[in-house]
């Protein structure tokens, strides 16, 4: 059931969580499919609903950094210190991998001894966390290997009746998933690039921070290596046109108004930004993919952007989404 998010519907959603059910809710990055992180039944249901391989662990959401000890084992002083230093980036689009406390269903399911924790910066997510008083395990609310949803309508199309309540809080402002950073190992590593950059974390921590998840990189977050995050329509970069492109019904996702770069007229064109501003591209990219995927096209073409800063996160997602030849 899709409900406009307000005090009453959030209370209803909190009740669903309390009895082990699932609710979808907005965050500033993408919509999440939430369940009680301590309930084996709820965690089981999340994996089943998404068709997610159990090797791919879930992010657990908290309202407040003060509760982090309930989930993470911070007895190692150097890890505790890292958490203290990174905490000013919360609430925000950042998930931090830490040693886990024992007995947390969301962690036990994937058989790891670490947990990814995130404190989202979205009033509806915050209110749901506060009202339910539950640590909410929430992957993106899409079936495994599909594009993350950035509106409640995307979630409804994907999961519809499988979710008891979908809280509608409008479009996700940032539009791509949180940065995942591993603070457990000697070297701090970004496992998934996002809005929070390595440079930003490095400055705060006074430590070197590297990207493990380069597009061709080997060391990835568990479960990420095989993921495609694709639309159902074939997707290609505009510099990789098939020979028979003129016979195909094409959609085109352009990153700037000028200089379209195609020498034929696509069936539909969506422009994400006037001048390829990475913030605007990120905010609009998934919506454009969802929308073009509805148009029964043969092919979606997409621009490339610079592969640095936020552009790195955008290119990471696109490299996973393009059709593998």
Q: Which residues bind ligand TXA (CB under 6 A)?
A: 27, 29-30, 32, 56-59, 95, 97, 112, 114-116, 118, 120, 138-140, 177-178, 180, 191-192, 221-224
Alpha-carbon distance of 196 to 174, in angstroms, equals 11
Number of H helices, E strands in the chain: 9, 15
Alpha-carbon distance of 165 to 6, in angstroms, equals 13
Out of ligand TXA, Mg ion, none, what residue 178 binds, judged by CB under 5 to 8 A for its kind, is: ligand TXA
Which residue number, 106 or 305, has a Cβ lying nearer to ligand TXA?
106
Out of Mg ion, ligand TXA, none, what residue 175 binds, judged by CB under 5 to 8 A for its kind, is: none
Out of ligand TXA, Mg ion, none, what residue 128 binds, judged by CB under 5 to 8 A for its kind, is: none
The pair of structure tokens assigned to 41 is 């039944």
Q: Please, what is the minimum distance in Å from the beta carbon of residue 277 to ligand TXA?
A: 20
Alpha-carbon distance of 167 to 26, in angstroms, equals 7
Q: Please, what is the minimum distance in Å from the beta carbon of residue 91 to ligand TXA?
A: 11
Dihedral sign of CA atoms 168, 320, 253, 180 in order: positive
Which residue number, 100 or 140, has a Cβ lying nearer to Mg ion?
140
Only one of the segments 6-14, 116-124, 132-140, 263-271 lies at the binding site for Mg ion (rule: CB under 5 A); that segment is: 132-140
Alpha-carbon distance of 311 to 135, in angstroms, equals 31
Q: Please, what is the minimum distance in Å from the beta carbon of residue 2 to Mg ion?
A: 20
Tell me the β-bridge partners of 32: 25, 140
Which residue number, 114 or 140, has a Cβ lying nearer to Mg ion?
140
Which residue number, 32 or 92, has a Cβ lying nearer to Mg ion?
32
Q: Give the residue at shortest CB distance from Mg ion.
A: 140
The pair of structure tokens assigned to 288 is 């454009």
Alpha-carbon distance of 31 to 316, in angstroms, equals 19
Q: Please, what is the minimum distance in Å from the beta carbon of residue 267 to ligand TXA?
A: 31
- Residue in 140, 189, 213, 230 binding Mg ion, rule: CB under 5 A: 140
Q: Please, what is the minimum distance in Å from the beta carbon of residue 267 to Mg ion?
A: 29
Which residue number, 213 or 303, has a Cβ lying nearer to ligand TXA?
213
Least Cα distance to 173 among 116, 229, 124, 221 occurs for: 124
Degrees to nearest 5, angle at CA 285 with 281 and 290: 165
Q: Spell out the residues 6+ positions from residue 154 whose beta carbon is closer than 8 angstroms to its own.
A: 31, 142, 286, 287, 290
Least Cα distance to 174 among 306, 316, 284 occurs for: 284
The pair of structure tokens assigned to 289 is 């993919």
Which residue number, 165 or 250, has a Cβ lying nearer to ligand TXA?
165
Is residue 178 close enough to count as binding Mg ion by CB under 5 A?
Answer: no
Q: Compute, in degrees rounded to 10, the torsion defined by CA atoms 247, 248, 253, 256.
A: 10
Alpha-carbon distance of 253 to 238, in angstroms, equals 9
Is residue 49 close enough to count as binding Mg ion by CB under 5 A?
Answer: no
Which residue number, 138 or 188, has a Cβ lying nearer to ligand TXA?
138
Q: Please, what is the minimum distance in Å from the beta carbon of residue 142 to ligand TXA?
A: 8
Q: Please, what is the minimum distance in Å from the beta carbon of residue 81 to Mg ion?
A: 30
Which residue number, 31 or 255, has a Cβ lying nearer to ligand TXA?
31
Residues that bind Mg ion (CB under 5 A): 140
């Amino acid at each position: 059931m899709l409900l406009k998010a307000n005090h009453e519907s959030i209370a209803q959603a909190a009740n669903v969580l309390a009895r082990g059910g699932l609710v979808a809710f907005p965050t500033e990055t993408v919509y999440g499919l939430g369940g009680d992180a301590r309930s084996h039944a709820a965690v089981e249901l999340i994996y089943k609903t998404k068709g997610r391989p159990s090797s791919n662990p879930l992010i657990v959401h908290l309202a407040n950094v003060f509760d982090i000890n309930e989930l993470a084992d911070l007895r190692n002083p150097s890890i505790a210190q890292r958490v203290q230093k990174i905490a000013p980036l919360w609430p925000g689009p950042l998930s931090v991998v830490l040693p886990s406390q024992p007995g947390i269903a969301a962690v036990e399911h994937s058989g790891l001894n670490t947990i990814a924790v995130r404190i989202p910066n979205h009033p509806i997510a915050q209110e749901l966390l506060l009202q339910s008083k539950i640590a909410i395990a929430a992957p993106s609310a899409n079936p495994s290997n599909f594009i993350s949803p950035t509106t409640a309508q995307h979630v409804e199309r994907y999961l519809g009746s499988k979710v008891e309540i979908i809280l509608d809080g409008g479009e996700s402002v940032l539009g791509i998933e949180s940065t995942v950073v591993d603070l457990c190992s000697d070297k701090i590593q970004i496992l998934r690039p996002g809005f929070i950059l390595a440079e930003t974390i490095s400055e705060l921590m006074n430590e070197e921070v590297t990207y493990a998840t380069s597009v061709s990189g080997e060391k990835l977050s568990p479960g990420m290596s095989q993921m495609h995050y694709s639309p159902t329509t074939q997707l290609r970069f505009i510099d990789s046109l098939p020979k028979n492109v003129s016979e195909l019904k094409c959609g085109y996702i352009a990153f700037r108004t000028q200089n379209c770069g195609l020498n034929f007229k696509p069936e539909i064109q969506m422009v994400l930004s006037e001048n390829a501003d990475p913030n605007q591209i990120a905010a609009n990219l998934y919506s454009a993919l969802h929308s073009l995927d509805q148009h029964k096209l043969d092919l979606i073409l997409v621009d490339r952007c610079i592969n640095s800063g936020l552009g790195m996160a955008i290119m990471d997602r696109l490299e996973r989404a393009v059709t593998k030849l």
